[in-house]
Amino acid sequence: MSETTMTPGTGRGAMRAVRFTGEGGAGSLAVGQEPIPTPGPGEVLVKVAAAGLNRADVMQREGKYPPPPGASDVPGLEVSGVVVALGEEAGLPGEGRFAHGDEVCALLAGGGYAEHVVVPAGQLMAVPPGVDLVTAAALPEVACTVWSTMSERGGVRAGDVVLVHGGSGGIGTFAVQYLAAIGARVLATAGGPAKCERVRGLGAEDVFDHRSGEPGGFADWVLERTGGRGADVVLDVVGGPYLDANVRCLAEEGRIVVIAVQGGPKADGFNLMRLVSKRGWLTGATLRARSVVDKARIVAGTERAVAPLVAAGRIDLAVGARFPLDDAAAAHRRFEAEDRVGRVLLVTDPADALWPQEDRT
């Protein structure tokens, strides 16, 4: 990682950090110098090795998803790095577990696109054995989202049929692998033959190409592959346009967990009795705005349940590209590219970068 510099006359270090210069496209990302933050009570200062890109970062850039009150407006919801300072203890979860020099990854409410970030102690995880420090940045946000929505809220158990929408995306690729690893039957949707084949390779029993048929055509497909029974759990990132079809292919007592509404929030003409007649559950979940205590509980549960699967090689963190922090705009363009495969990371040391020549700014 690059060395920090000192801000003249302040006695505090200076770091590079990415901010948005205006709402809109990837060109609105700019890197500047800022003071290194100081950890408060119950917090830890991490020197960042890498930060993961997520859909929430794009939405924040577009002015559609502001950070929660009190959070940094520097984007970035997950990082990996090294502990370099500890704040005073405040009786919060996770305090005392990590020490100066420990390699960690962390779940954030914001601030990850920088050389340093302050994190509540309970939102740190140890880097799983066998995972390098840079790659570990791809773990916290997706792992915590998948575990909390599928195992905790969705109640998925071995043998359940789970439909994962967006199976080739960041959340989807992780969810397919995790669900297959715990013994669920995984069906998924993806766009295009190449992406469908990739999702099958991650452990999905079968994949529906949502580009090849009518909108919502996956419902009949799911019923056919389950002998008319339907899916016990649906993980949805599309929202309103998929609600009717999600309910149609839902098993009795099934659960639909909505974590994003990329297709829009409204479901025009939906007949609620279809859900009632199946005694189904429709629920939603977000992670970013939860309390420090709630996040610490989720991080602890995720570390117990998911990290061993990653360490054993049963879940691949699937990093496809690593961009230098100074090329955050190019990283966002790669993230939004139609042909993107795998996660996209920002790295603070340019020597850790690995990205196609055509993506360079």
Residues 301 and 246 in one domain: no
User: How many Cα atoms occupy the beta-carbon half-sphere of 232 within 13 Å?
Assistant: 16
CATH number at residue 69: 3.90.180.10
Q: What's this model's pTM, rounded to 2 decimal places?
A: 0.93
Residues 131 and 152 in one domain: no
**Length of the chain measured in residues:** 361
- Residue 171: closest CA among 155, 184, 190, 156: 190
Question: Could you please report the per-residue DSSP string of 276-303?
Answer: HHTT-EEEE---TTS-HHHHHHHHHHHH
| pLDDT at residue 5, as a whole number | 43
Start-to-end C-alpha separation, the chain? 21
CA Rg value for the chain: 21
Residue ending a domain, among 284, 301, 326, is 284
Residue ending a domain, among 269, 284, 299, is 284
CA–CA dist 203, 193 (Å, integer): 16
CA–CA dist 81, 19 (Å, integer): 20
CA–CA dist 279, 255 (Å, integer): 9
How confident is the model over 52-68, as pLDDT tens digits?
Answer: 999 999 999 999 999 99
Q: How many other β-carbons are positioned within 10 Å of the β-carbon of residue 224?
A: 11
Residues 320 and 343 in one domain: yes
Which domain range does residue 189 map to? 143-284
Residues 269 and 334 in one domain: no
CA angle 59, 345, 153 (to 5 degrees): 60
Contact between residue 256 and residue 231 where contact means Cβ atoms under 8 Å apart: no
Residues 10 and 124 in one domain: yes
Residues 147 and 279 in one domain: yes
List Cβ<8 Å contacts ≥24 apart for 96-101.
96/121, 97/121, 97/124, 98/44, 98/124, 98/126
CA–CA dist 86, 199 (Å, integer): 41
Contact between residue 47 and residue 84 where contact means Cβ atoms under 8 Å apart: yes
Residues 147 and 276 in one domain: yes
Residues 279 and 160 in one domain: yes
Residues 111 and 151 in one domain: no
Residues 147 and 256 in one domain: yes
Residue ending a domain, among 257, 284, 311, is 284
Residues 355 and 276 in one domain: no
Residues 280 and 147 in one domain: yes
The letter for the amino acid at 65 is: Y
Q: State the DSSP code for 150.
A: I
Q: What is the pLDDT along the chain (361 residues), one digit of tens a residue?
A: 444 443 333 346 899 999 999 878 999 999 999 999 999 999 999 999 999 999 999 999 999 999 999 999 999 999 999 999 999 999 999 999 999 999 999 999 999 999 999 999 999 999 999 999 999 999 999 999 999 999 999 999 999 999 999 999 999 999 999 999 999 999 999 999 999 999 999 999 999 999 987 878 999 999 999 999 999 999 999 999 999 999 999 999 999 999 999 999 999 889 999 999 999 999 999 999 999 999 999 999 999 999 999 999 999 999 999 999 999 999 999 999 988 888 999 999 999 999 765 554 4
Q: Which two tokens stand for residue 146?
A: 């998948």
Q: How many domains does the chain have?
A: 2
CATH number at residue 258: 3.40.50.720
Q: State the DSSP code for 188.
A: E
